[in-house]
Amino acid sequence: MLIRSIEELDAVRARCKTMTRKRALTSGGLTLIPVPGVDIAADVGLLLELLPAISREFGLTQEQMRHLDPQLKSFLYGVIKTTGSRVVGQLVSKQVVVSLLQKVGVRLTAKQTLKFIPFAGQAAAAALSGSAMLLLGYAHIQECYSIAQQGLEYKALPAPTND
């Protein structure tokens, strides 16, 4: 998808936030399954699907960027490199997702402990799981939004003249 205006960019961001909220609810619900490790495995699976889907919505997957004109592609890869992104324009692997989850590791460790406390602990674990998914998803959305916005601004610049 080639985004042509800031309005389209804002609409993409809104769709991605909705997608992220749905995954966060799923993540929270899976916390209620009383089998150790199931929720973490589910979170990895959800993020392996969510992060590339967000990138795809913004037109920032490897495949989509391959079809851009060379100058814009070079500009966008430069922006991605300066942001230090490990996800945008990259193949998202299980190792990348696990390292992202480790960044919110305190929440996930607390979630594992809380989920075995009846009712209140399980509710708190579900809330922590959902908030960790929201945190990672929204951070990726913001990163993609910023990169795509810079791409729009780059395309809007007048072409240099040879005067």
Query: Structure pTM?
Result: 0.78
pLDDT digits 0-9 by tens, 99-123: 766 665 544 555 555 555 555 666 6
Question: What's CA 40's distance to the chain center, in Å?
Answer: 17
- The reported pLDDT for the residue numbered 42 is 84
Domain boundaries, the chain: 6-151
Pairwise pLDDT comparison (130 vs 134), residue with the higher score: 134
Cα–Cα dist 44/23, whole Å: 11
Cα–Cα dist 49/60, whole Å: 15
pLDDT digits 0-9 by tens, 37-59: 677 788 888 988 999 999 999 99
